[in-house]
Structure 1
Amino acid sequence: MTATPATPGHQHAPNPPFTRPRRAARPVASAARDVLTLAGLPLLAVLALPAAFAGGGTRRWFGGRAESQRAQAQEAKDEAAAAFYELDTAQRDLKISVETIAAVDDSPAARQAVAQFEALGRRVDEASRRYIEAVDATDLDRDDLEASAAARARSALIAAKDELLTVRRDLDRFAAGLGPLLNRAETELARVAPAVERARQALRSAGEALDAVRGNGFRADDLAARLAALAPELTKLNEGAGRHGVRPTVQRAERVTREAEAVAAAARRLPEQAEEIDRRLVSLRTRAQALTTRAGQVEPVLSELRRRFTVACWQDLQHVPDQAAQNVRRAEEKLLEARQAREEQRWPDATALLSTVRALLNATDEAVSAAGDRLKRLNAVQKDPQAEIERTRFAIRDAQRLAMTGRTTPDPRHARPLDDCVARLERAVTGLEAGPHPDYWHFLTETEAVRQTVARVVAQIREERGAGR
């Protein structure tokens, strides 16, 4: 929107209303007549004077009507100028609000508001253009301004003023509808400074925590590298939201805060972490030594299994002694690597190596325990197979009672797998009694599988009844 134009030879301020020089009270010819009459000249000579005074140019006067039209046109011009100034001010104020919304909010509603403001801006420009044309069309301060020209100027200026006022009302209505969007944008904008300050404070705290642990002999090189990587982010925060946008700035500040706080927390945990790694090194070494002793006891267990039971009962355990010895050796090698990593303060490497050692020892423990458990279970079933049979039959009968509760006939989805379990148990019992050297391990695995199937059916029944089916 351009500034208010000035008519030639006369400068106008937009507000308050324009003023213009007052016209002479009487025409020059009338004043000359008075002077010459007093000098004693005849009236006829006086009547001839206007032509003489016109030398070099005079302006024409048209009496009261022309003056009235000029005054009305000037009044219309002042009113139009005031409307133009108020519209320009309103547009500038509203532009700030719309720019605030656009900088923060990228929702469809915000984009629509920006588009509407641009359309209103085009209307403002058009109304302003017509106002300027109306002002420039007529010089209301011309000495020879005719009444008709003043009237036309007044009409044009009134029309320009009305258009400016119409656009101003539409602009006001649009501004009133921006309330919710503007409130959200201002709320988001208000988050910028606190978020940036929190990020700066978090970076300072991280630096102080890092300095403290370094003073205690920890290098903390990885933490220092993480903190240094945040320097470019801090530079962008210092450049401000005006350059990088409100929402990206808030998000960047929050990310810097989280990462800086993580660095500070890791730095404060370093002494505790070192102590924990030292404890785990000692504990795992002790456990590895104990497993070495236990692994040596697997071979006698296997010898007894080979002597008393069929091949199927122990064949899958043949690898346990060799595997246990191999796992313990690998665990000891990893322990040495973990010790070296701890001395070099490579904390993540030390932690990862200790986790590997623990996994190797757990696998070894399970394998060594499996041999002893196998012998124990086989001894029990050889001594009293009926206890395993009754345990399994009880599970089946209990599931069958549950399946019949509240029913006259069982649901085939439940009855069929339970019937299959009964048949499978009977086959296992028959196989146990078939020869002088029963496969007790096959019998135990079959009864275990039957109980697992029964447990799944029971869970299904309870789930369906809980759901009201």
Structure 2
Amino acid sequence: MTATDAQPQTQRVRRRARTGPQTAARPGRGAAGATGSARAAAVRDAVALVLLPAVLLPLAAASFAGGGTRRWFGGRSESARADALAAKDAAAAAFYELDTAQRDLRISIETITAVDSSPGARRTAEQFAALGQRIDEASHTYITAVDAHDLERDDLDAGDAARARAELGRAKDDLVRVKGELDRFSQSLTPLLDKAETQLARLAPAVERARQALLGASNALDAVRAAGLRADDLAARLAALAPELTRLNQGAGQHGVPETLARAEQVQRDAEAVRAEAAALPQRAAEIDRRLVSLRTRAQALTTRAGKVDPVLSELRRRFTAACWQDLQGVPAQAAQSVRLAEQRLKEAGQAREEQRWPDATSLISTARALLNDTDEAVSAAGDRLQRLNAVAKDPQAEIQRTRFAIRDAQRLAMAGRNTPDPRHARPLDDAVARLDRAVADLEGRHPDYWHFLTETEAVRATVTRVVSAIREERGAAAG
């Protein structure tokens, strides 16, 4: 008989076993029990004699007197029966404990595999399946032993009882051995089971937080709409989360615990983002209104300032060489064009604001600001150029001394703690001195190019700054 063939028997015996051992204490057995049985048999035989036809009475009497075949039990047979019944009860108890432990462990395995899809979890499931086969084999041995011996029959002799006790004892030992394997395997599952239970404990709160976040986002959108703002893009983003909520409601049994946890956390983040943007939308609308007003005012001011560039250029052309102002010739036209373009973008931004296309309005405002910034720099460059050229034409020594001081300061730093400077530092500083001398010499002509002089001194100071930074970095690294 295979384990599959024994399944109905297994269920029958398991139902009997789960009620607990029933035959461990059988009152009336032993020597007194044997006497009672003999008396009952004698009564039954006497009744039969009364009912026999008269013609059979001599034969019946002879049979009762000693010619019959019925066995009469003594203490040895009843003692063997009691031992066999005790072995049966012990085996039943072992079977019950193994069955209970297996069912409990199956729940743990299902918990682990539902949460964890790692190779370790898969190996655990395979090991449990292999252990289940050994459990089935031990259970089949036990069931076969139980079904092979009817310990309740009256004609059970001592030899049959002894064989039953031996087979049931071996079956119990197999059950106990497999139960030990099951217990050891269960103990090895503790880390995986703890991890799985932790994730399961996180699951319900995570799903609930996701639901609450969606509810909060929906309420925030309702409040925004009540204030007269449509927030269509936010509504579309919230609607896109509806299928995810459906999957969350379907549960981890269908989609898996890790996937459901990840989905719940993502839904919570997305819904929180929608809620936060919806809550900030009235303030965002007010900020866009403020920036539109501010940039329109700035555009008007730049139009006025751009009109003053022509007189500045006229003075530059009259007093300085062409190299000092030629690059500024296109500033007035460029400024006027940039201001007109910025005003057009602001008009488009205002239209987007009226239509509540918030991303478009924000983008157009940023474009307008960039145009106005460029115009501001170009308009300011003409006035700054005239101011700087006037200052250097009046007193070039201030610029010269400022540059020479920067060079000397760098040279002192390069010589600090050294007898001779590092060539990597000395060479660029020497080149800077020579470059400054050439720029100063160029001022001695009839029409000096003051703008070239200023750009040269700026370049010299930039070189000196790089050398000083390199020296300090090297010394800082050495000290560290």
- With the shorter chain as reference, the TM-score category is 0.7 to 0.9
* Greater Cα offset, 26-35 or 369-378: 26-35
Q: 1:26 to 1:232 in 2, by over 3 A?
A: same
Shift in Å at residue 42 of structure 1?
A: 11
Structure 2 residue identity aligned to 1:399: A
Q: 1:194 to 1:6 in 2, by over 3 A?
A: closer
Contact 1:29 1:49 in 2 (8 A): no
**Is 1:172 equivalent to 2:165 in the alignment?**
no
Contact 1:295 1:325 in 2 (8 A): yes
Structure 1 residue identity aligned to 2:352: A
**Structure 1 partner of 2:458:** 448
Separation in structure 2 between the aligned mates of residue 135 and residue 412 of structure 1, nearest angstrom: 102
Structure 1 residue identity aligned to 2:114: A
Aligned residue among 257, 281, 302 for 2:292:
281
**Is 1:438 equivalent to 2:442 in the alignment?**
no
Q: 1:132 to 1:408 in 2, by over 3 A?
A: farther
Give the 3-state SS of the residue equivalent to 2:135 in structure 1: helix
**Structure 2 partner of 1:25:** 37
Separation in structure 1 between the aligned mates of residue 296 and residue 11 of structure 2, nearest angstrom: 99
Q: 1:337 to 1:29 in 2, by over 3 A?
A: closer
**Structure 1 partner of 2:308:** 297
**Structure 2: gaps (5+ residues):** none
Q: 1:150 to 1:361 in 2, by over 3 A?
A: same
Contact 2:80 2:158 in 1 (8 A): yes
Separation in structure 2 between the aligned mates of residue 215 and residue 114 of structure 1, nearest angstrom: 56
Q: 1:144 to 1:393 in 2, by over 3 A?
A: farther
Contact 1:29 1:53 in 2 (8 A): no
* Greater Cα offset, 264-273 or 45-54: 45-54
Structure 2 residue identity aligned to 1:173: R
**Structure 1 partner of 2:141:** 130
Structure 2 residue identity aligned to 1:443: F
**Structure 1 partner of 2:9:** 5
Q: Deviations over 1:318-342 (max 9, x none)?
A: 3322222221111111111111111
Shift in Å at residue 69 of structure 1?
A: 3.9
Separation in structure 1 between the aligned mates of residue 329 and residue 79 of structure 2, nearest angstrom: 124
Shift in Å at residue 354 of structure 1?
A: 0.7
Separation in structure 1 between the aligned mates of residue 11 and residue 199 of structure 2, nearest angstrom: 47
**Structure 2 partner of 1:202:** 213
TM-score (norm 2): 0.83
Shift in Å at residue 284 of structure 1?
A: 0.7
**Structure 1 partner of 2:20:** 16
Shift in Å at residue 422 of structure 1?
A: 2.8
Give the 3-state SS of the residue equivalent to 2:37 in structure 1: coil
**Structure 1 partner of 2:320:** 309
**Is 1:376 equivalent to 2:380 in the alignment?**
no
Shift in Å at residue 250 of structure 1?
A: 2.8
Shift in Å at residue 163 of structure 1?
A: 2.4
**Structure 1 partner of 2:203:** 192
Separation in structure 2 between the aligned mates of residue 223 and residue 305 of structure 1, nearest angstrom: 56
Separation in structure 1 between the aligned mates of residue 11 and residue 324 of structure 2, nearest angstrom: 115
Shift in Å at residue 53 of structure 1?
A: 6.5
Contact 1:15 1:81 in 2 (8 A): no
**Structure 2 partner of 1:229:** 240
Q: 1:196 to 1:239 in 2, by over 3 A?
A: same
**Higher helix fraction: Structure 1 or Structure 2?**
2
Q: 1:287 to 1:131 in 2, by over 3 A?
A: same
Separation in structure 2 between the aligned mates of residue 322 and residue 164 of structure 1, nearest angstrom: 100
**Is 1:416 equivalent to 2:447 in the alignment?**
no
**Structure 2 partner of 1:261:** 272
* Greater Cα offset, 375-384 or 124-133: 124-133
Shift in Å at residue 140 of structure 1?
A: 4.1
* Greater Cα offset, 332-341 or 307-316: 307-316
Q: 1:45 to 1:219 in 2, by over 3 A?
A: closer
Contact 1:80 1:160 in 2 (8 A): yes
**Structure 1 partner of 2:93:** 82
Aligned residue among 362, 365, 372 for 1:354:
365
Shift in Å at residue 218 of structure 1?
A: 1.7
* Greater Cα offset, 279-288 or 170-179: 170-179
Shift in Å at residue 286 of structure 1?
A: 0.9
Structure 2 residue identity aligned to 1:463: E
Aligned alpha-carbon RMSD (Å): 3.6
Separation in structure 2 between the aligned mates of residue 68 and residue 422 of structure 1, nearest angstrom: 123
Separation in structure 1 between the aligned mates of residue 216 and residue 260 of structure 2, nearest angstrom: 21
Separation in structure 1 between the aligned mates of residue 460 and residue 85 of structure 2, nearest angstrom: 107
Separation in structure 2 between the aligned mates of residue 319 and residue 135 of structure 1, nearest angstrom: 110
**Structure 2 partner of 1:325:** 336
Contact 1:101 1:110 in 2 (8 A): yes
Shift in Å at residue 29 of structure 1?
A: 7.4
Structure 1 residue identity aligned to 2:322: V
Contact 2:38 2:72 in 1 (8 A): no
Shift in Å at residue 3 of structure 1?
A: 6.5
Shift in Å at residue 36 of structure 1?
A: 10
Separation in structure 1 between the aligned mates of residue 346 and residue 10 of structure 2, nearest angstrom: 91
* Greater Cα offset, 328-337 or 394-403: 394-403
Contact 1:4 1:81 in 2 (8 A): no
Structure 1 residue identity aligned to 2:470: Q
Q: Deviations over 1:18-41 (max 9, x none)?
A: 4399787229876678789999x9
Shift in Å at residue 365 of structure 1?
A: 0.8
Structure 1 residue identity aligned to 2:23: T
Contact 1:295 1:324 in 2 (8 A): yes
Shift in Å at residue 165 of structure 1?
A: 1.6
Give the 3-state SS of the residue equivalent to 1:438 in structure 2: coil
Shift in Å at residue 145 of structure 1?
A: 5.1
Shift in Å at residue 401 of structure 1?
A: 1.9
Separation in structure 2 between the aligned mates of residue 349 and residue 268 of structure 1, nearest angstrom: 19
Q: Percent identity?
A: 69
**Is 1:271 equivalent to 2:275 in the alignment?**
no
Separation in structure 1 between the aligned mates of residue 407 and residue 12 of structure 2, nearest angstrom: 111
Contact 2:145 2:168 in 1 (8 A): yes
Separation in structure 1 between the aligned mates of residue 404 and residue 92 of structure 2, nearest angstrom: 103
Give the 3-state SS of the residue equivalent to 2:421 in structure 1: coil
Q: 1:156 to 1:383 in 2, by over 3 A?
A: farther
**Structure 1: gaps (5+ residues):** none
Contact 2:17 2:95 in 1 (8 A): no
Q: 1:284 to 1:37 in 2, by over 3 A?
A: closer
**Structure 1 partner of 2:471:** 461
**Structure 2 partner of 1:240:** 251
Question: For this pair of structures, how many residues does the alignment match?
Answer: 462
Q: Deviations over 1:203-256 (max 9, x none)?
A: 222222222222222222222222222222222222223322333323322322
